[in-house]
Chains A and B, each alone.
Chain A
Amino acid sequence: MVKQRGFVIWAVLLAGLLGLLNLPLPASRQAKEAVREALAPLHALVSGAGLRLREAGTTLRGIGGLASENRALQEEVLRLRGEMRALQTDAKENGVLRELLGFKRRAGQKLVAAEVIARDSTGWWQTLRLDRGSRDGLAADLAVVTPDGLAGRIVEVSDHTADVLLVSDPSCRVAVRIPRTGSNGVLSGTGVRWNGQVVCRIDFINRNHAIRPGDEVVTSGLGGVFPPDLPVGYVETVETDAAGLYLRAEVLPRADLARMRHAFVLAAPREAPAPSRRGAAP
């Protein structure tokens, strides 16, 4: 009798577990969102405290070298001012040429700044969590960038958080282009090397294109998820694939994916001002 009762209890427990595994997607998503929302403030608090501690440590370590750092920064400021003047001249010239050629200026995209508050807790994905969510205008499949280059795309979003699949994850695919040769390919992550270096790979490059190490890689805009011309990284090595039909290149991402603390989400383009009724064509 006791054995039978034990059997029934375990059967119920296992049935519960199986039910959990087969939860309908909306229910599963709602449950995950609820837990994420509840824990988001705690995540932000712990992650913020860790950041402050690291910053304090860096400050303490750097006190000795402040004078030389200050000199180096002043030189950098002078150099950057010079570059900025040159770029302003180029931008003016570029604008004039574009007008002459009749190009349309690309719609300005809204950038949402966000802080990284957590990383994947299972270790099987290359993801991180941002402290902004659907209430800030974020949605799935929006591109995430750092000042250096592309970081990934949003895969899941709740009211106040968003999960980003990094380009270093093997399941993240990005249509890319090598501007020097005009070659197109598909970039996917290959994980992280022993030394912590994040590496990606481009497959299906036309073998007649002379790709070489150091070539810049940017998004091609094909596929619609990532806007074109976002910097992605640089080619490190090139080889022919096993079948000998295509080239394959290893790419070092420009963005420091392993240590990024802040990111920008390319939210939906700013809405163009509504055409005035007076000016509208009949």
Chain B
Amino acid sequence: MSVLSLVIVLLSGGVLQAVLPTWAAAGQMPVPVLPALVVYYALTRNRVAAFWIGVAAGLVQDALGIVPLGFSSCCFAVAALLLNRYREEVFEWEGLTHMILGGAAAAGTTLALGLLLGAAAGMHLPVGRIALKTLGAAGLGVATTPLVCRGVRRLDVMLGLVAEARR
């Protein structure tokens, strides 16, 4: 049940990310639903699970776009490991933790993906464009992650997976 719910959550997150509107002021970045899910699972699951969830979330993102398969997986897996490593360093108010980690994860994965695309896929990316997209992703991550985390936690509670989830 845990794996099934995870698959459904990741696929739904991927669909939402592709369908939700974008804003020019945020560098046309999509609402970072998948990075927010990576944050949630990195904070509530063990290191190996967090790694695999990062890889799976990246696969969903790559499969739904024209990015070569595996690029986002690398970025999300590294983000998941880092978040999992420092998950004890949290703020007293959980929402603030989610906002900061969400912003950092969205910005970090966006920047890393941009650099990977520039280096490996030969994509020409001006510095200004990378900066705008990274900042836009950070802002959207701050706004989105607390909502996504709250929603997925509710689902975990409904499905009786709350024992696995760290509160």
A-side residues, CB < 8 A to B, are 9, 13, 16-17, 20-23, 28, 31-32, 35-36, 38-39, 42-43, 46-47, 50, 117-127, 129, 155-156, 163, 165, 170-171, 191-197, 258
Contact = CB atoms under 8 A, between A and B. Distances in A.
B16 interface: yes
Nearest to A28: B69
11 contacts: A17-B74, A20-B59, A31-B59, A31-B63, A35-B64, A46-B15, A46-B19, A118-B18, A120-B65, A125-B65, A127-B66
Contact of A171 (B17, B28, B113, B123): B123
Contact of A123 (B27, B70, B77): B27
Interface in B119-146: 123-125, 129, 133, 136-137
Nearest to B118: A124
Nearest to A118: B18
B69 A42 contact: no
B84 interface: no
A35 B63 CA distance: 6
A193 B23 CA distance: 10
A16 B58 CA distance: 14
B11 A39 contact: yes
B48 interface: yes
B62 A123 contact: no
A194 B63 contact: no
Given A28-B68, A31-B69, A124-B114, 13 more contacts: A35-B59, A35-B64, A42-B15, A118-B19, A119-B19, A123-B133, A124-B67, A125-B67, A156-B66, A163-B66, A191-B129, A195-B24, A196-B24
A123 B35 CA distance: 13
Contacts of B63: 31-32, 35-36
A141 to B, nearest CB: 14
A123 B18 CA distance: 9
A214 B124 CA distance: 29
B72 A122 contact: yes
A194 B70 CA distance: 31
Contacts of B64: 35-36, 39, 118, 121
A13 B15 contact: no
Contacts, number: 124
A165 to B, nearest CB: 7
Contacts of B125: 124
A156 B69 CA distance: 13
B102 interface: no
Contact of B25 (A16, A38, A50, A194): A194
Interface in B28-45: 28-30, 34
A121 B17 contact: yes
A170 B51 CA distance: 33
Contacts of B103: none
Given A42-B11, A42-B15, A192-B24, A121 B68 contact: no
A192 B23 CA distance: 10
A124 B69 contact: no
Nearest to B14: A121
Given A32-B62, A118-B18, A123 B67 contact: no
B9 interface: no
A121 B24 contact: no
**A21, A123, A155, A194 pick with most chain B CB within 10 angstroms:** A123
A116 to B, nearest CB: 10
Contacts of B18: 43, 118-121, 129
Contacts of A28: 68-70
B67 A9 contact: no
Contacts of A13: 48, 51
Interface string B61-105: 111111111111110010000000000000000000000000000
Nearest to A22: B70
A17 B30 contact: no
Contacts of A119: 18-19, 22, 30
Contacts of A39: 11, 14-15, 64
Contacts of B19: 43, 46-47, 50, 117-119
**B19, B28, B62, B77 pick with most chain A CB within 10 angstroms:** B19
